[in-house]
A and B are shown apart, each in its own frame.
Chain A
Amino acid sequence: MYFDFVGHRKWWYLLSLIILLPGLIALAINRPPLNFGIDFIGGNILEIRFEQPVPVEKLREALGEMDLGHVSIQAAGDQNFLIRTKELDRDKVNQVIGALQRLGQAEVVRVDHVGAVIGYELIVKTVIALAITLAMMILYITIRYAGEYLAGISAIASLLYDVLVVVGFFALFRWEVDSTFLAALLTVVGYAVHDTLIIFGRVKENLHLVKKEGFAEVVNKSINQTLRRSINTVVTVVLVLLSLFFLGGESTRNLVLAMLIGTVFGCYSSIFNASQLWVDLHLLFREQEKEVARPTKAKAR
């Protein structure tokens, strides 16, 4: 099994763009760009479980009279309800619980309240954490690939792509972004670097080994050689994530979802973006330096 990855790279770039674009558009159009949960913007979540089925309309009616502002009621089955509101004080929460319990025997499963201040701090922290992580990764890659800054740039571009895809998916489908989203993003970043470094490591090894092949061939060979490991690793991680997604608790579902997307596209991006980009950058800068005699090639790229 030997596939010409590098030869088709224009198509891969196009494919990557097609994957990324809807999310980017959603990010640009949607206000707010992401569906921030109460962790970020403050508010209340109340989860209640009725002993008998209760129609959603009844809940809406009961809560509608209470002047709570915008209320979102999400039904999980016909007995479980997740009610999201703006920030409410304790008296108001008790009123809401009282009103709901008049509809039927009910158990309060979960009550979350997050103040707006805490939410704002979380946003700041998230941005800082992401920025620091990316900076550290860039530093790490730069040091590891001191002589190969083109590889570093390619790896980082691929990393950013991966983060953007995950964020884009969440923007596109309006999945809720909560405090664990940061955890997912940072893990994905670590993981995506991981994938890229394995391919690049092989490229470096092969460059030492065989001198006569062109750079593009070496990269292509390296991708093929590491392909089984790339796929197998993704498969094992995806197996774990899928079982967590389908069987695990509700509250980690979005974390798992973000990681699923990130892992799959992290692997994709290592092969189809990072490696290809390295080839193009190499052809653009290095070949130009080495072979001034062939300016046409540089122009074509």
Chain B
Amino acid sequence: MSRGRPALKLALFLLLVLLLVGIGLPFLLKHMRLGLDLRGGVHVLLQAQSTPEHTVTPEDMAALERVMRQRVDQLGIAEPLIQREGSDRLIIELAGVSNPEEAISMIGKTALLEFKTADGQVVVTGRDLKDARAQINPQTQQPEIHLKFNPEGTKKFADITKKLSETYPMGFPQRHIGIYLDGQLLTNPHVNGPIPDGNAVITGFTDFKEASKIAALLRGGALPVPVQIAEQRVVGPTLGADSLAKSKQAAMVGLILVALFMLVMYRLPGVVAIFSLGVYALIVLSVLWALKATFTLPGIAGLLLSVGMAVDANILIYERLREELHWGKTLKAAIDSAFQHSIPIIFDCNSNSILAAMILYWLGSGAVRGFALNLGLGVATSFITAISFTRFLLRLISDVPLFQDLRFYGVKLDPSLRPAKEGV
């Protein structure tokens, strides 16, 4: 009677693991967030530039972030990622963009609006703007943009128009205010008189389409500081899909090869290793999912590499187990001793890998960070599964009389091949 009990326990346990892994893994894999390189998209790193008169401040960056968010929203892209990096940079990531060119031109457009007097002095900028609308002037049939300034802008604009009309006589070139978009002169209107109500009109566009696009940019917020695209990566949707399919295939083949290798090399413990790998994958993916981490190509490479390390923990333990069995220990004693001797070593090695991963995460950026996170997490998880799950399962198996035959552990039965001399 007692013969059946451990076997039943083992069977139930394995069934439970199979069920958990079988349901959990496909679910997690399906709900993983994919990075730009796997689904196509645009990655842009914007660099805000300090000018001699103005250094970039945190407020500028906050404003820049706001503006970018508005612009991206106008593109109608789901889940855009916009985050600040350092003191003067902004990362924008847009996944699954159908027209990357348009997206970048929208983001990269500086739309720095400046009103300058004839002596080049900037009197009003896009920062002072409240609204901008394009329309066709019913009289001239020309496209134009109507601007409305915020209170501050209104005051500035009123002051300068008043000053100009009081200082210079009508028709003088000094009485013009140049309107520049991104440093390019759009129109250079003459100030007929003081404008106290904060309204202005810009003309000089080739067609209505251009005027409305610029109006949208201005409305979306003119940038507080000049920016430059410091880095840009566009992955077309086909390349993304292609990379995803390839990674899946590579991961599958790699894992199957490892599983086969473990089976051939270690027999029954090899089966244990495969189960451990399943549990390991479940834990890692769950954590990544909970962290809302993104899957990228280097990330997948990191994960697969950590599988290699996870297997290594198993290999270390099983090699030790083989030796202990060779030295003539009983199965149970050998298992205990194998773990006892292997754990410090595994801990040593894994802490080194985690150390490397942490430094990488700390100093790396983007893709490299994903790699580091997955690698570090994977290695830590592999350590935990090795000392808990693998040990538990091996002990459970060794309780089953059927599996107490040492041949299952890759050790020959012939006692003459088991020199006991080194057994301590």
User: CB within 8 Å of B: which residues of A?
Assistant: 47, 49, 90, 94, 107-115, 117-118, 122, 125, 128-129, 132-133, 136-137, 140, 144, 179-180, 182-183, 186-187, 189-191, 193-194, 197-198, 201, 205, 209, 225-226, 228-229, 232-233, 235-237, 239-244, 246-252, 255-256, 259
Contacts and interface: CB of A to CB of B under 8 A. Distances in A.
Interface residues of B, number: 74
Interface in B269-311: 297-298, 300-302, 304-305, 307-309, 311
B363 A249 contact: no
A205 B345 CA distance: 11
11 contacts: A113-B229, A125-B363, A125-B364, A179-B364, A183-B364, A190-B352, A232-B319, A239-B254, A239-B258, A248-B301, A249-B247
A140 B367 contact: no
A166 to B, nearest CB: 14
B75 interface: no
A110 B100 CA distance: 10
B195 interface: no
Interface of B: 37, 45, 47, 100-101, 104-105, 108, 228-236, 238-239, 242-243, 246-247, 249-251, 253-255, 257-258, 261-262, 265, 297-298, 300-302, 304-305, 307-309, 311-312, 315-316, 319, 323, 341, 344-345, 348-349, 351-353, 355-357, 359-360, 363-368, 371-372, 375, 422, 424
Given A187-B375, A243-B253, A112 B233 contact: yes
A115 B231 contact: yes
Given A183-B371, A198-B345, A248 B250 contact: yes
A189 to B, nearest CB: 6
Nearest to B89: A118
Nearest to B38: A249
Contacts of B357: 186-187, 190
A135 to B, nearest CB: 10
A133 B353 CA distance: 10
Nearest to B323: A225
A144 B230 contact: no
Contacts of A240: 254-255, 257-258, 304-305, 307-308
A90 B229 contact: yes
A144 B249 contact: no
A209 B327 CA distance: 14
B359 A107 contact: no
B398 to A, nearest CB: 21
B238 A49 contact: yes
Contacts of A232: 261, 265, 315, 319
Interface of B (DSSP majority class): helix
Contacts of B304: 240, 244
Given A180-B367, A237-B309, 19 more contacts: A47-B239, A90-B108, A109-B235, A111-B232, A115-B229, A115-B230, A118-B230, A132-B359, A182-B368, A187-B353, A190-B353, A191-B309, A197-B348, A198-B316, A201-B344, A201-B348, A236-B308, A244-B251, A249-B37
A209 to B, nearest CB: 7
Contacts of A113: 229, 231-233
A255 B298 contact: yes
Contacts of A125: 363-365
A251 B297 contact: yes
Nearest to B109: A90
A178 to B, nearest CB: 9
Nearest to A48: B236
A250 B352 CA distance: 29
Contacts of B351: 140
Contact of A252 (B298, B307, B312): B298
A236 B315 contact: yes
Contacts of A114: 230-232
A49 B351 CA distance: 44
Contacts of B254: 239-244
A235 B301 contact: no
Contacts of B258: 236, 239-240
Nearest to A111: B234
Contacts of A233: 308, 311-312, 315-316
A272 B396 CA distance: 39
B359 A108 contact: no
A110 B239 contact: yes
B345 A243 contact: no
